[in-house]
Amino acid sequence: MGFDPVGFTSLDWNMAEVIIPAKATSATAELPMVMWMREAELKHGRICMLAIVGYIAVDLGLHFPGAKYAGLTSLQAHDVMVANGNMGFLFTIVALLELINGAAIVQMANGSGRQPGDFKFDIGFTKGNKADYYILSEVIHSRLAMLAFSGLVTQSALYEKGFPYF
């Protein structure tokens, strides 16, 4: 997209050397910095897209069953879930997903041809003549979601009330 004010994408680091120890790295293992950064951007953007939906859903009344979760706003729900120990399960799920993601990045560094963010979970959008359009759209929506989620949480904290947050 051409927006890189800090210049991260122009760094000439081979991230394969960071992921795989030098003695285990083949001579052909290479992962350009821009692919590493795109993988991270897509991952965080996808999480934020889901987080926006979840945050608003809780404020509209979708809760875990049980009296201790009734009437909580999204802002309060985090602290209650930590206090009740529910976040341990979430941590385990996230850790498993990160292990899977780590294996995919190692394969990408070993020259598998995998593109950043591609987990072969596609319903047909990345095939055909509109593939580039949809791939670029996901990056744009990911960036918007990251900004929107931070604004959503900030607005929620400032007014300390649920949806519509003003």
Give the mean model confidence (pLDDT) for residues 24-45.
Answer: 74
32 by DSSP, 3-state: which? strand
Tell me the CB-side half-sphere exposure of residue 49, using CA atoms within 13 A.
Answer: 13
Q: Does the pLDDT at position 31 exceed 90?
A: no
Compute φ and ψ for 14, nearest 5 degrees: -95, 100
pLDDT bin (cut points 50, 70, 90) of residue 95 is very high
Task: Please provide the CATH number assigned to the domain covering 8-159.
Answer: 1.10.3460.10
Q: pLDDT per residue over 104-162, tens digit each?
A: 887 787 778 877 777 767 676 667 788 788 888 888 899 999 999 999 999 999 988 77
Residue, of 51 and 128, whose pLDDT is higher? 51
Q: Which residues contact 159 (CB under 8 A, 6 or more apart)?
A: 165, 166
Residue, of 138 and 26, whose pLDDT is higher? 138
What distance in Å separates the CA atoms of residue 16 and residue 22, rounded to the nearest whole number?
9
Residue 105 DSSP symbol? H
Residue, of 126 and 60, whose pLDDT is higher? 60
Q: What are 135's two structure tokens?
A: 């791939």
Give the mean model confidence (pLDDT) for residues 26-47.
Answer: 77
User: For the chain, what are the domain ranges?
Assistant: 8-159
Q: What does the pLDDT read at residue 28? A: 55
Q: Are 64 and 85 in contact (CB under 8 A)?
A: no
What distance in Å separates the CA atoms of residue 153 and residue 135, rounded to the nearest whole number?
27
Q: What does the pLDDT read at residue 101? A: 83
